[in-house]
Amino acid sequence: MELIILDKDFQELLRVDLFHSFIWIEKYHDSGEYELHLSKYQMNDFSKAKYLYRNDVMKLTLIESLDFELKPDGSKTFKIGGNFIEKQLDNRVFEKEKTYSGTHSEIANQIVSEYFPGIKIKASNLGVQTTTKFDGQRIGTALYKFLKEQELSQRIIYDYLDNTLTYEVYKGIDRTDTQSVNDWAIFGDDNETIENIKYGKSIAKYYNYAIVTGDGDKTNPTTEIVDWTNGNERREIRIKGPSSRKKNDSNVDMSESEYRAMLIQKGKEALEKASKVEFFDGNLINRTYRHDYNLGDLCNTSLCNVGVYAYKRIIEVKEIFENKDVKVVPKFGNDYETLSDILGGVNNES
C-alpha cells in the first residue's frame, strides 16, 4: 500500500512512508472516509494538497481537514482526513425537476455523464426498468438512495497512470450458501471467524404502512397507501403530503396520476426513514478482506449467543492500520433477509 498526496491538477506532491495510524472506512450506501495521523510531516508539506490516493485499491480521497497539535511535552501530532472522491458528486444539485427512465444503473450513468462530463462511465445494466424524478437533491446523496432500492451502489475508480476517473454502478456478490457460483462467506461466533462482537437492534421508530393524505376535504382527502408490511404486523404512520398540485411553484397543475405518484413517493421516503435498525460488527479473523469477502457482499451470519441467524450485506468495512498491525472491522447492515424468510419459515420476526 502506498499513500500518494496530489495537488488539484493530480500532480504528485509527496508519498507518505511513515504514519502513526491510518483509519480507512469504506461504505456501501454512502461515500467513505479516512483519517491519517502523521508525525514526520508538517502542515506546509500539505499546503497545496487536495487529494490522497491509495494505490492498492485505486481509490482517490479528498483532503478536507488538516489538524495540528503541539503538546506540552513538545511532541507534535498532525492529522489529515476527508471523504472519498464520490463525495464530490454532492457538489452539484438537480437545479430543477428532472425525469429519467431506464434501469437503475442506466439512469445513474446518464446523470453522472450529464453533470460530470470529465468522468468516464463504465456501462452497466443493473436494477430494473423504472421512471423516477429528482428535484433539488444533491446528486451523490440522491443516487446512493436511488441505487439502494435495488441493493446497488456506486464508486469512482482513479487510474493513477492514465490520470482518469471512471464511474461505476455495481452490486456486491452473493456469497451465501443458497448459491453455488461464488465461494461462500460464513461469519459467526461459532466458527472462529469473528470476535469482539457488537450487536444492536431497535424497532422503536419503525413503521411499515404509510397513509399519505393530500388535497381535498379534511374528512375525505386524496389518499394513497404505501404498504410495506409483507405479511408482518402493521405499524402505521400518517404523512401529510403537499396540498398544492402546482408543478414547481408554477401555474401548471399536475395530472391526477402525477399528483398521486408524488404522494406515494412521500410515503416511501417516510418509511425509508422509519426502518428497523439492526446490525452487528466485530473483528474478522481467519478471513482475508477483498479476497474472501468484500464491501457489499451478501453473507451468512450467525450469532448463537443472541439467536440471530441471517443473510446480511456488508454495508461498511473499517480498516485500522496501527503499529504495523491491521485490524478489519466489517459492519453487517439492515438490508438482509432472515433465514426463515428465504427458507419459507413461518417466523417472520427479525
Cell numbers given for 251: 401555474
Only one residue has cell 446523496, namely 141
Only one residue has cell 472462529, namely 192
The residues with which 174 forms a beta bridge, in sequence order, are 298
241 vs 30, more confident: 30
CA distances from 182 to 177, 178, 298, 316 (A): 9, 10, 11, 21
Distance separating alpha carbons of residues 54 and 291, to the nearest angstrom = 18
CATH of domain 93-170: 3.55.50.10
Region 60-67 average pLDDT? 96
**What local confidence, expressed as pLDDT, does residue 250 receive?**
63
**What local confidence, expressed as pLDDT, does residue 276 receive?**
72
The residues near 104 (Cβ < 8 Å, ≥ 6 apart) are 126, 127, 128, 130, 146, 147, 149, 150, 152, 169
**What local confidence, expressed as pLDDT, does residue 168 receive?**
98
The residues with which 49 forms a beta bridge, in sequence order, are none
Distance separating alpha carbons of residues 230 and 250, to the nearest angstrom = 38
Distance separating alpha carbons of residues 212 and 264, to the nearest angstrom = 7
Tell me the pLDDT band of 347, cut-offs 50, 70 and 90. Answer: very low
349 vs 83, more confident: 83
pLDDT tens track for 258-317: 889 889 988 998 888 787 766 667 777 778 999 999 999 999 888 777 777 788 899 999
**What local confidence, expressed as pLDDT, does residue 278 receive?**
67
Distance separating alpha carbons of residues 175 and 182, to the nearest angstrom = 6
Q: What is the mean pLDDT of the chain?
A: 87
Pairing relation of β-strands 298-303 and 236-240? unpaired
pTM above 0.85, yes or no: no
Sheet holding 236-240, edge to edge: 220-227, 209-217, 236-240
Distance separating alpha carbons of residues 272 and 205, to the nearest angstrom = 11
**What local confidence, expressed as pLDDT, does residue 248 receive?**
57
**What local confidence, expressed as pLDDT, does residue 341 receive?**
33
**What local confidence, expressed as pLDDT, does residue 177 receive?**
93
Distance separating alpha carbons of residues 68 and 53, to the nearest angstrom = 21
Tell me the pLDDT band of 342, cut-offs 50, 70 and 90. Answer: very low
DSSP 54-96: ETTTTEEEE--EEEEEE-TTS-EEEEEEEEBGGGGGGG-B--S
pLDDT tens track for 67-83: 988 888 877 788 999 99
**What local confidence, expressed as pLDDT, does residue 87 receive?**
98
Tell me the pLDDT band of 346, cut-offs 50, 70 and 90. Answer: very low
Quick one: what percent of the chain has pLDDT higher than 70?
A: 93
Region 16-28 average pLDDT? 94
Pairing relation of β-strands 220-227 and 33-38? unpaired
Cell numbers given for 211: 397513509
pLDDT tens track for 117-153: 999 999 999 999 998 889 899 999 999 999 998 999 9
Distance separating alpha carbons of residues 228 and 209, to the nearest angstrom = 6
What angle do helix axes 139-148 and 104-115 make, rounded to 10 degrees? 170
8 Å CB contact between 25 and 317: yes
Residues in the chain: 350
82 vs 187, more confident: 82
**What local confidence, expressed as pLDDT, does residue 345 receive?**
28
The residues near 230 (Cβ < 8 Å, ≥ 6 apart) are 208, 348
Tell me the pLDDT band of 176, cut-offs 50, 70 and 90. Answer: very high
Given a cut of 50, is residue 6 above it in pLDDT? yes
41 vs 136, more confident: 136
**What local confidence, expressed as pLDDT, does residue 338 receive?**
35
Q: Can you list the alpha helix ranges (DSSP code H) found in the chain?
A: 104-115, 139-148, 256-273, 339-343
8 Å CB contact between 41 and 20: no
**What local confidence, expressed as pLDDT, does residue 274 receive?**
80
58 vs 195, more confident: 58
Distance separating alpha carbons of residues 100 and 131, to the nearest angstrom = 6
Which of 135-149, 194-208, 241-255 has the least mean pLDDT? 241-255
Domain ranges within the chain, ordered by starting residue: 3-83, 93-170, 186-203+277-316+334-342, 209-274
Region 29-52 average pLDDT? 90
